Amino acid sequence: RYCYERNLAVNPQGGNTGLVGGSVPVFDEIILSTVLMNQIISFDKVSGILVCQAGCVLEKLNKYLEQQGFIMPLDLGAKGSCHIGGNVATNAGGLRLLRYGSLRGTVLGLEVVLADGSALDCLASLRKDNTGYDLKQLFIGSEGTLGVITAVSILCPQKPKAVNLAFLGCQSFAKVLETFTTCRAMLGEILSAYEFMDDKCMELVEKHLKLSSPVTGSPFYVLIETSGSNSTHDEEKLNSFLEQAMTSGLVTDGTVATDDKKIKATRFIWISLIPQMLWSLRERITEALTHDGYVYKYDISLPVGKLYDLVTDTRARLGRSAKNVVGYGHLGDGNLHLNITAESYSHSLLEAIEPFVYEWTARYSGSISAEHGLGFKKKQFIQYSKPPEAVFLMQRFKAMLDPKGILNPYKMLPSSS
């Protein structure tokens, strides 16, 4: 309210883990931090509904819920720092989206402070509510441009009793896709994650972080997680899938991590360890890339059949002007993380990458931002994923809810003329 009355721009900021400059001030905005808004308001063990303030750190929420026999419906590499309010404001995706869906489905209600300082209390704890427009959806993914999220009501799934992780090697991306089809058909309801990475990712993880992969010598690697309530049932299904994948030539090598020492398989090495040890090979790719030089990062959503073609075409286009071009991501929901490294920032290299990557993505009806938002860095490219009519309507919403334009200015939307 103070800033609204004085025409002062406000930059909402949570854990500041975003990758597109959405939580970073551009000029002289006042930073409004939610770090002290870190209280859990309530948790209902019957419904699994958690109500908490926006500044709660994701990992801390998950630890709290695990003590109650539940988990958060989202998980991502920045979980130790990111805030749930920022997760909702950017509609963060992450590693569990394949199983539990996006925040647009699991968030039940929000408390939001509008540009003029008035509070909008839509903090419902109901799974069904068809009274009028679903206003919370306006603020999920709005990147702090329409209001500041101060509290969240979110539906949390029960903690799975049995978790297994398979790390597999495939000889081509076509095999990765075929493995996914077989995996989804044979594992069904217990499939909770399907991640892929190319051999360049593994090289960087091993080189810069000194992590050793239990599976080597493949052009592509797949990480599959199952989670369910019956370990015997899950192990039988996973065993059947692995035998099928190996026998049919989809997979050439593999390792399985489990908490249960009783598991046996004829063609795979089963290791009794915490599955998170294998997860680190996937989750720490971003960290490894930062050690490789300056990183150009792209978060793309594409039809799964075309997912890796963008990496191949980008690699061919850039040639030796780039140090490394790697691809990895959430294949289960068509989300590619394309990363290009160079010794240092180069404007000529950036011009070779952009808008090529966005034009390529638009050609195949993809999204230039699958889960990281547009922020400051990508707002001028929104037209590659949204038609002018949609952008105009977004600008009208912005003008209505924030007539003075004080909320996170210069972010997400191109300037309206």
Is residue 147 a contact partner of residue 115, using CB atoms and an 8 Å limit? yes
Do residues 201 and 213 lie in contact, with contact meaning Cβ atoms separated by under 8 Å?
Answer: no
Report pLDDT digits (tens) over 296-331. 999 999 999 999 999 999 999 999 999 999 999 999
Tens-digit pLDDT profile for residues 143-198:
999 999 999 999 999 999 988 899 999 999 999 999 999 999 999 999 999 999 99
Global model pTM greater than 0.95? no
Residues sharing a CB contact under 8 Å with residue 160, sequence separation 6 or more, in sequence order? 71, 192, 227, 228, 229
Name the one residue in this structure whose structure tokens are 């080189």. 207
Rounded to an integer, what distance in angstroms lies between the CA atom of residue 231 and that of residue 309?
Answer: 37
Span(s) in the chain for CATH 3.30.70.2190: 162-285
Q: Is residue 355 reached through a cis peptide bond, with omega within 30 degrees of 0 on the bond before it?
A: yes
Residue with tokens 């989804």: 184
DSSP letter assigned to residue 289: H
What DSSP character marks residue 403? T
Residue-wise pLDDT for 101-153, tens only, equals 999 999 999 999 999 999 999 998 889 999 999 999 999 999 999 999 999 99
Class of domain 162-285: alpha beta
CATH class of residue range 1-155: alpha beta
Residue 269 has pLDDT above 60, yes or no: no
Write out the DSSP string of 1-49.
Answer: -HHHHTT--EEEESS---SSSTTS-SSSPEEEE-TT---EEEEETTTTE
